Chain A
Amino acid sequence: MTPFDGDDKCLWLASCGRDLIDLCLRRDAELHRLLSNTRIFPAHLAADDHRIAGRDWLNLVRNCRRQVPVDDLAFVAAEAMLANRDHAFLQMLQCAPDLARALRVWHRLRGSFLPLLQIGLGGGDRELSLYLRPAIGLQGQDRFVTELTISLLLGLLRHQLRERDPTPAVELAWPCPADVESYRLHWRIEPAFDAPVSRVRIPYPLLFQPFADADAARFAALQTRLRARLDDGGRRVGLLEFLRRRLRRALPQTLALEQAAASLSMSRSSLKRMLRQHGTSYGELVDEVRAELAWTLLRERRWPNPRVAQRLGYANAHNFRRAFKRWTGRPPSAALTPAR
């Protein structure tokens, strides 16, 4: 399996782009401006199986945000997608028996809808954490893609769960904007900002509450349909997601750059260049993977420092402490106190 890049055609226009484009057209955007520099032509909009590259979709998003300068575009787009009866993927999630099954299928079939974010799982005593990281370089649209994904998840919960207690929580990886009203209005949650990684925390009881529109037959039928479509196009993950998974599996050993490049059958320097295009570097990826595992082990499993250090491949707890401080600005002991 080779991972996909910004230039591989791995997104279906009908599921990722059509609702967004219609939404912008209803807000007086001009079609030719929305499609400029995206290699999408108006004729493609009607085709159900037209696929576009990640880079083209990101350009489309950039055009949409320029043409419709409102701060809640991602939230409204998510609502429009969830309400679209022809959106096979989101309709499938909405007729799942419960959130746990919906998330599992989302993960398994993520290739068929917006695989630009890697959704990593972590578990604590009381809640499930979904970590959202870019699966390829998102060219400055990280915030839009993250907001869109979280809006889809929260919208799914809002429409399907009758009881709203306990509540999910959201932490976002960017600084608090001057105006947080859009989050309040659309999510009805006050998110926390400046987190190391964007994440959604879902209390366990929510996972097993039955969905209002649960429909086992339809759920199965839609899954089969999407799986068939995916097998056609190949199941592929983003380059960054691919490397993170490799690195994580290799721990406590650190996978060398040469080995990673070999697994992608490319040279050391071309991998380096490629990562630069995606806005990151190999060292950053290694740190990210280690930091995430460290957080999980410290906070969710309450492991002591020396044991975590050993698991991450550090020679001693002292080195680990220093590295942890470099990643987060806080010593590991601070990880045990809950986030603000």
Chain B
Amino acid sequence: MWRQHLPSLLLLCAALCVGCTLALSLGQPKPLSAIAWYDVLGEAVTLLVACGWLGLVVAYRPRGWVSHCLIAGTGLLIWSYALDLFDEFFEYVGVDHPQSLLESAPAPLGMLLLTVGVAGWMREQRIVHRQLSGREHFLRDHRLLDPLTKLYNRAYLQHALERELELRAPDEPLSLLVIDVEGFARYNHTYGAVAGDRLLVRISEWLLMRMRPSSLLCRYGGDRFVMLLPDTPLPRAVRLGRLLQDRFAKLGDEAAACTLRCSAHAVDGRNGRTAPTEIGDALAAHSRASRRAQWAAAR
């Protein structure tokens, strides 16, 4: 980030050089016995702290008027403190007025600029925070997270699909991938609930690692996950599902008792179909394709 500030830094260096040259050329060195070492120590530390501020601003601030104010303010302070340090070592005879003006005038000006800069920084933070919280107002609701896997839950999936249907371009493809962990109930029953929970967390992490950043993985409930794939045509979603199934089968160890069963569904939201009906249809199709013994639905 510091490269953005190169011009300001060069300007500051040049100003410091001029200051040093002036001080050196106008002053006479003091004898060692006349130097007040406690003053030197105090002024040197102040100078170093000011340099530290400059370093922080340069390292972490993007370019902009707030950064310019902060850099100029600290620069002036550094200039002032440096000259202050010099006059511990040099004596100025006869040129009293210009030197003291050069030394003391920049400090209050620098403080003023710093104050303006910090005020601007705070305002900027407030705006950034407001924008973030507006953008993810429901992302921050903990009730939309599954406490075990830390994935988003069923309610969030519905919100996300609604937004996706609303905001996407008319011909942008959108797919849902339903993922069941077959054999999970048996695994849970055989190895106990602790092992079962651990397996679910592991599978969710495994799935997270294998999806694109733009996709959304939700824990639908029990042993079922649903992945929302924006900008993905159905064939690609089908391919992804098959890939996950194959890779999972080769995973080995404790996951060997289970298999994944994925099915992909295109979502178009046409004819006024809402997010809940789309999800319901996808799941109904998923269950129809299932060989899992379903106890009969409503009779």
Whose C-beta in chain B lies nearest to the C-beta of A191? B298
Whether A83 contacts B294 by the Cβ 8 Å rule is no
List residues 81-120 of chain A with CB under 8 A from any CB of chain B: 82-85
Q: Are B154 and A164 in contact (CB under 8 A)?
A: no
B134: shortest Cβ distance to chain A, in Å? 25
Could you say which residues of chain B place their CB within 8 Å of the CB of A32? none
Number of A residues near B (Cβ < 8 Å) is: 35
Contact with A along B282-299 (1 / 0, CB 8 A): 000000000001111111
Determine how close the nearest CB of chain B comes to the CB of A74; give it in whole angstroms.
13
Query: Are B146 and A185 interface neighbours, CB within 8 A?
Result: no
Segment at the B interface, from A22-30, A128-136, A221-229: A22-30
Check if A72 sits within 8 Å of B143, measured CB to CB: no
B231 interfacial by beta-carbon distance below 8 Å: no
B222 near A186: Cβ-Cβ < 8 Å = yes
The answer, yes or no, to whether A126 is at the interface (CB within 8 Å) is no
Determine if B147 is an interface residue (Cβ-Cβ < 8 Å): yes
Cβ-based interface call for A192 (8 A): yes
Q: Which residues of B contact A83 (CB under 8 A)?
A: 188-193, 196
Q: Which residues of B contact A181 (CB under 8 A)?
A: 154, 220-221
* A79 contacts chain B at the CB level, 8 A cutoff: yes
Residue ID in chain B nearest A187 by CB atoms: B295
Q: How far is the CA of A19 from the CA of B196 in the complex (A)?
A: 13
Tell me if B197 counts as interface (CB < 8 A to partner A): yes
**Which residues of A are at the interface with B, using a C-beta cutoff of 8 A?**
19, 22-23, 26-29, 68-70, 72, 75-76, 79-80, 82-85, 158-159, 164, 167-169, 179, 181-182, 185-190, 192
Listed by A's residue number, 30 A-B pairs whose Cβ atoms lie within 8 Å are A23-B193, A28-B147, A29-B147, A69-B143, A69-B147, A72-B221, A79-B188, A79-B189, A79-B196, A80-B192, A82-B189, A83-B192, A83-B193, A83-B196, A84-B193, A159-B189, A164-B295, A169-B299, A179-B154, A181-B220, A181-B221, A182-B222, A185-B220, A185-B222, A185-B223, A185-B224, A186-B221, A186-B222, A190-B297, A192-B298
Q: With A85-B192, A181-B154 given, can you name 17 additional A-B contacts, CB distance below 8 Å?
A: A19-B193, A23-B193, A28-B147, A29-B147, A76-B193, A80-B192, A80-B193, A83-B189, A83-B190, A83-B192, A84-B192, A84-B193, A167-B295, A167-B296, A185-B220, A185-B224, A188-B295
